[in-house]
Amino acid sequence: MHTSNETVVNESLKLSKALPKELYERVCTTLDIPTVNQMMEENEKIKGILPRRSIKEPMLSNRKCLLIDRGMDSDTDVEYCPSDDEETEINIHQELLKKPIREQITWNTHYLQPEREDEKTLIKKADDLTERIANEFCEYMKQLGGEQQSNLFSPKAIKELFQIEFDTHVARSLRVISKELPTIDEKIAAAVGKPEKSCYAALEREISRDIKAENCSNKTNAFGQSLPRHDQYRAPNNNTKNQWRSARYVPKDLVTLKAVWEGITNLRSVREYCRWMIDHPEHRRPPYLNSLGMFDPAVLEAKMSFQNQYHEAPTQKPLSIEPESVEHIRRRLSELAETNLGQAEAK
């Protein structure tokens, strides 16, 4: 097949007449020659190009137009193809050559010329100025003389004295040990909205899986023959259900909820709770309160009236000293006084 355009077009026309449409398109794709439809579309595009100056007419094509006003009687319509339609491949070598030479060369080499002052960035200029000031200060201190030259007067030490920034990254200054956790705490799981990742939820799933595995039947035979030992499956017998989901002994105080309600039945909140439970009998009642009759309206009202009368009762009067006890104290004091006088006279 010839390479000229006319020969390619003629041969494409001959193939379109001789072959079915699908087979014709496949052959053109394989031979990399244009089809008839593609050639017709290219011809329409060429015919659709407007001249430089044209009469103002509505643009029906999908091409974008720029309106350029040159101060003349008529405007000029300029068509251009949008860059989005053109598929351009990025050449990494050209992109590298477009960068400044300092960004192209990142290794140490003597072929690289020293950076000029106008090419330096503001940060580079500031660093050079700081370095020059530190060197001049060190030279000045050395010229003053002295028996011993301090290690403090070095450019590096001088710059560290006036440094106000922190160069070390936090992630580099701290030791970080990453560790994948199978579960997380309940509060963290609730905060992030992942309750299934909590410890109790994971434990519940593992218990359910163990119980399901124990209920599976043993698989030791297949097609009337015994399976090899490494292919056999025997259900574990760890008694997981009885260990985790059954209670052999529960204290009676917990069953009756005596441990919860004992000693606080006289509180107002407990009485209001019992009154609410009387109005809502569909809820389960604590056996301990039920044994005390707290859910009987008559008993509850009697207890409440007794509590009110007890609080409203007048306070007891202070104890008064009886007259007999006062006379006894006086008699005792007189006896002690007579005894002391007798001892004094005897002396």
- Asked which of 191, 217, 246 is the last residue of a domain, the reply is 246
Task: Kindly indicate the confidence band of residue 346, based on its pLDDT and cuts at 50, 70 and 90.
Answer: low
Query: Do 265 and 294 lie in a common domain?
Result: yes
Q: With a cut of 80, say whether residue 7 has pLDDT above it.
A: no
- Say if residues 278 and 295 touch (Cβ distance below 8 Å): yes
Q: With a cut of 80, say whether residue 77 has pLDDT above it.
A: no
Q: Is residue 336 part of a domain?
A: no
Residues 288-330: tens digit of each pLDDT: 888 888 888 887 787 777 767 666 555 554 444 444 455 666 6
- Say if residues 35 and 25 touch (Cβ distance below 8 Å): yes
Residues 121-136: tens digit of each pLDDT: 888 888 888 899 989 9
Q: With a cut of 60, say whether residue 156 has pLDDT above it.
A: yes
Q: Which residues, listed in sequence order, are joined to residue 225 by a DSSP beta bridge?
A: 222
Q: How many domains are there within the chain? A: 4
Q: What is the mean pLDDT of the chain?
A: 76
Q: Is residue 263 part of a domain?
A: yes
Query: Do 242 and 283 lie in a common domain?
Result: no
- Say if residues 277 and 249 touch (Cβ distance below 8 Å): no
Query: Do 301 and 266 lie in a common domain?
Result: yes
Q: With a cut of 70, say whether residue 46 has pLDDT above it.
A: no
Q: If residue 334 lies in a helix (H) or strand (E), which one and from where to where?
A: helix 323-346
Query: Do 256 and 306 lie in a common domain?
Result: yes
Query: Do 259 and 216 lie in a common domain?
Result: no
Has this prediction a pTM greater than 0.75?
no
Higher pLDDT, 265 or 343: 265
Higher pLDDT, 200 or 35: 200
SS3 301: helix
Q: Is residue 27 part of a domain?
A: yes
Q: With a cut of 60, say whether residue 37 has pLDDT above it.
A: yes
At residue 68, φ and ψ (nearest 5 deg) are -110, 120
Handedness of CA 125, 130, 135, 137 (dihedral sign): positive
Classify residue 73 by its DSSP letter. Answer: S
Can you give the pLDDT at residue 212?
93
Query: Do 220 and 265 lie in a common domain?
Result: no
Residues 227-244: tens digit of each pLDDT: 998 889 899 988 888 888
Q: Is residue 209 part of a domain?
A: yes
Q: Is residue 108 part of a domain?
A: no
Higher pLDDT, 17 or 205: 205
Query: Do 43 and 73 lie in a common domain?
Result: no
- Asked which of 80, 97, 127 is the last residue of a domain, the reply is 80
Mean pLDDT of 69-78: 47
Q: Is residue 97 part of a domain?
A: no
- Residue 347 one-letter amino acid: K
Q: Is residue 317 part of a domain?
A: no
CA–CA distance from 194 to each of 179, 181, 186, 203, 206 (Å)? 19, 14, 9, 15, 17
Task: Kindly indicate the confidence band of residue 198, based on its pLDDT and cuts at 50, 70 and 90.
Answer: very high
Q: With a cut of 50, say whether residue 15 has pLDDT above it.
A: yes
Domain encompassing residue 37: 1-48
Higher pLDDT, 67 or 183: 183
Q: Is residue 30 part of a domain?
A: yes
- Asked which of 80, 98, 125 is the last residue of a domain, the reply is 80
Task: Kindly indicate the confidence band of residue 173, based on its pLDDT and cuts at 50, 70 and 90.
Answer: low
